[in-house]
Structure 1
Amino acid sequence: MSRPIESMLIPTDDSEGALAGAKHGIALASRTDADVHVLSVVQVQDSLADSGDIAFAPLEENAEEAVEAIAKLARSYDEELDITTAIRRGTPFQSIREYANRREIDVIAMGTKGRTGLDRFLLGSVTENVLRTARTPVLAVPPNAGVSTIDDMTFERLLLPTDGSDGAAIATEWGIALAACLESMAHTLYSVDTTRLTGTQESGEILDALERRGEEAVERVRERARDDGVSVSGSIATGSPANAILTYATDHDVDLIVMGTHGQTGIGQWFLGSVTENVVRQADTPVFCVPVSANSP
């Protein structure tokens, strides 16, 4: 079986949110036999830019302690993991993205809430900027993901939402590759968005067309999964796509949602698809976000 993930980057700011992301990142890296990179970024403020190394020494000591804590956690879980630690100065999301690009990292795993996360509907600013600009998949982990130890984490049920777009197709490739590697059951879901239909005869015709499109999109996922020997169940839902995805994930005890960061409305690297953004903001389940620029697994 090929390895869909060969390297995993785990950024940390020593927050509870970062720890949640690290635990899931370590678990997934162990199960896919991936190398682990742990990175902490010392944010450089303009007022300290010319202060010399002395001004950064305490901050870098804290960063070193943060990365070593995650590295120790990873080694205690799987002593065979190949672990690299690094400290960088700069703007956190830019440093994370640049490190991932230069080291050809396959996946970035991070919590959705950092030190500034205040509310379940607010993404941490670093995570949001990484999601908007990264060229590699990001495993976004909410702080209330439901497990306290790495041993308790499972990837038995994966949800692969689809809207028939190119972005969804790329995410499907990743989802199926992960399901094959992890020997997981895969679910695919298409939601017919009825929120703008008015109930007229014309709306009924539009609904019929959307349902046919959904069935075709789900069947394409099934066909792709069969090629890799992955079992997939398919469903058609109605209503808001984000709500349908969140409800399905809860009702079916999904362990991981795999979806593209840009759907039908994505128009550039600085715009998350609105469905993905709402799912990441509200999910209690980790979301594996795949940008349209990601390489095939």
Structure 2
Amino acid sequence: MSEPIESTLIPTDGSTGALAGANVGVALASRIGADVHVLSVVGPRNGPVESDDAVRSSLEEGAEEAVEAVANAARNYDEELDVTTAVRWGTPFQAIREYAVRREIDVIAMGTKGRTGLDRVLLGSVTENVLRTARTPVLAVPPDAGVSEPGEVALERLLLPTDGSDGAAIATEWGIALATRLESMVHAVYSVDTSRLSGDRAPEDLIRALERHGKAALEAVRERAEEADVGVSESIATGPPARVVLAYASDRDADLIVMGTHGQTGIGQWFLGSVTENVVRGADVPVFCVPVSAASP
């Protein structure tokens, strides 16, 4: 790793989903030697309330309890962790992004469900907006990741999808860097997606061309992993990319998926509707989402 990951931001609202993100975020920070920042954002839900001291005080008290719960869990897990807590007023995703920029945060770790609905995935709300706008990687953790405390977090097998794009290359750098610090194994996968080709059957020469491109993309990942002395396996699969990634993660018991938020669909495209969003929605393991704007680790 050329530059260490020095800081991790864990937003929380005290919900079960937020705690799932916190557990993985704390475990990652501890194992790579990063500082932890815990942030809770409060603001009016039903109109302006800043002038109501009683309501404001109640909201702030709840936010402080939420951050202290995560901070205490972090310190109990690893007493050497440097933990900073903060409460901010404002729009959650904007406050999270601004805090990350001002404090030069390297990674944001957060759950994909919070208090915006009983079972509503927060894509379309806080997490999606953070994913769309953050200039640093976002570790998106589903509530069914199966961890109730940081000590239960496994980070031994990293799945690294690639499509050979610049965005995938940046994600590869982060994936290899994480694997180096975590002493993890990397599994690289490339999807030959024939679903968008016209006709009932894709021409064989086109399929062969896609496979050649896939082999070149996987070779780039393998070479980078070998340079870093990281164990790596690789595979080419056929099918829609998101479906392939989710199936491969399940079949290989991946602990973490590392992928770029934009691939061959174009840097300018919104995150919404992308392969990465569909993976985040469907995954039962954390997804480490790397934007094209992220500096190399």
TM-score (norm 2): 0.94
Matched residue count: 296
SS at match of 1:41: strand
Identify the residue that residue 130 of structure 1 maps to in structure 2.
Answer: 130
8 Å contact kept, 2:50–2:56 = no
Taking the aligned partners of 2:120 and 2:230, their CA distance within structure 1 comes to: 33
Identify the residue that residue 210 of structure 1 maps to in structure 2.
Answer: 210
Taking the aligned partners of 1:222 and 1:43, their CA distance within structure 2 comes to: 47
8 Å contact kept, 1:112–1:124 = no
Identify the residue that residue 102 of structure 2 maps to in structure 1.
Answer: 102
Identify the residue that residue 23 of structure 2 maps to in structure 1.
Answer: 23
Identify the residue that residue 147 of structure 1 maps to in structure 2.
Answer: 147
Taking the aligned partners of 2:208 and 2:269, their CA distance within structure 1 comes to: 33
Identify the residue that residue 164 of structure 1 maps to in structure 2.
Answer: 164
Q: What's the RMSD between the two structures over aligned residues?
A: 1.8
Partner amino acid, structure 2, of 1:69: A
Offset, 1:19:
0.2
Taking the aligned partners of 1:142 and 1:182, their CA distance within structure 2 comes to: 21
**Which is worse superposed, 231-240 or 142-151?**
142-151
Offset, 1:249:
0.4
Taking the aligned partners of 1:179 and 1:6, their CA distance within structure 2 comes to: 16
Q: Report matched runs for 1:233-272 at 5 Å.
A: 233-268=233-268, 270-272=270-272
Identify the residue that residue 63 of structure 1 maps to in structure 2.
Answer: 63
Partner amino acid, structure 1, of 2:110: M
Identify the residue that residue 175 of structure 1 maps to in structure 2.
Answer: 175
Taking the aligned partners of 1:290 and 1:174, their CA distance within structure 2 comes to: 8
TM-score (norm 1): 0.94
Taking the aligned partners of 1:287 and 1:240, their CA distance within structure 2 comes to: 18
Identity of aligned residues (%): 73
Taking the aligned partners of 2:213 and 2:118, their CA distance within structure 1 comes to: 39
Partner amino acid, structure 2, of 1:224: R
Gaps of 5+ in 1: none
Offset, 1:22:
0.1
Taking the aligned partners of 2:59 and 2:174, their CA distance within structure 1 comes to: 37
Gaps of 5+ in 2: none
Taking the aligned partners of 2:221 and 2:19, their CA distance within structure 1 comes to: 33
Alignment of 1:292 with 2:292, yes or no, is: yes
